């Protein structure tokens, strides 16, 4: 499916039907491919979760973006593949053929893997949704934005620099507390406390619902539903 055929507001019911037909009949493959060559599965959208790789950072607040992608992949028991500086897996979300991406280049270099992925699948910066932690939001809240500054988040800064645009859809995940320590770097790199697990799980579920909303209904409608709402398990 060409860029012109993708609807910027999200994947419509007609797009979902086309996706099923394309998979059934092998449509949408590169016309110049050699017989027997393996083409990557077609992709409509890319969802990028930000974090740091390795067991040392596995439960840290800074890895909240990874948590959401792990949950989305787990819903359909998708298989992850580590290659080219990222973990990736293919899933279908709201009728969209979606690539989940967890950069393995550490937070401050998160954007390095994206230009090659966009080129590989014939996508643009507007086809990406980035999910990451945000100190300015209290734990349990999320914010959806279509564009804007990085707000001091180095992972998003790296992505905006690599793509040369601030028009990157993002889902911000609140990790802040009422009484924040002075050492903000130490805070984001510390583990989520066990007593906050229920709130974290609720926020992960809500972020997953926001992703589905963006892909199905577009950014504007999803912002109206989720921005500023307190943490609760969504019914969408």
- Asked if 153 is an active-site residue, the reply is no
Instruction: Identify which of 7, 68, 10 has the alpha carbon closest to the alpha carbon of residue 221.
Output: 10
| Residue showing tokens 């819903």 | 75
Pairing relation of β-strands 169-176 and 128-138? Answer: parallel
Which runs of consecutive H residues, i.e. helices, occur in 26-130?
Answer: 64-75, 114-121
Backbone angles phi, psi at 226, to 5 degrees: -105, -25
What gap in Å lies between CA 150 and CA 207, rounded to an integer?
19
**Contacts of the segment 178-185: beta carbons below 8 A, 24+ positions apart:** 178/138, 180/135, 184/135
| Residue showing tokens 């040369």 | 164
Where does the chain show beta strands of DSSP type E? 45-49, 81-83, 86-93, 96-103, 128-138, 142-145, 169-176
Q: Which of 62, 90, 153, 154 is catalytic?
A: 62
User: Which amino acids are annotated catalytic?
Assistant: 62
């Amino acid at each position: 499916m060409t860029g012109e055929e993708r609807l910027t507001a999200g994947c419509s019911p007609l797009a979902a039907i086309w996706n099923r037909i394309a998979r059934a009949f092998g449509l949408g493959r590169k016309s110049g491919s050699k017989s027997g060559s393996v083409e990557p599965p077609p992709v409509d959208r890319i969802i990028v979760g930000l974090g740091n790789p390795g067991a040392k950072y596995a439960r840290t607040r800074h890895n909240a973006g990874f948590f959401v992608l792990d949950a989305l992949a787990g819903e359909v028991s998708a298989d992850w593949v580590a290659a080219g500086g990222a973990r990736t897996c293919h899933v279908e979300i709201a009728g969209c053929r979606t690539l989940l991406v967890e950069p393995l280049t550490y937070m401050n270099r998160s954007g390095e893997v994206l230009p090659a992925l966009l080129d590989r699948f014939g996508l643009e910066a507007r086809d990406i949704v980035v999910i990451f932690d945000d100190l300015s939001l209290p734990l349990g809240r999320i914010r959806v934005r279509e564009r804007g500054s990085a707000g001091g988040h180095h992972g998003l800064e790296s992505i905006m620099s690599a793509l040369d645009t601030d028009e990157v859809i993002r889902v911000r995940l609140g990790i802040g507390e009422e009484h924040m320590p002075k050492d903000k770097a130490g805070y984001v790199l510390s583990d989520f406390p066990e007593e906050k697990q229920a709130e974290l799980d609720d926020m992960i579920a809500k972020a997953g619902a926001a992703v589905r909303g963006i892909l199905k209904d577009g950014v504007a409608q999803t912002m109206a539903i989720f921005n500023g709402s307190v943490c609760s398990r969504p019914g969408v």
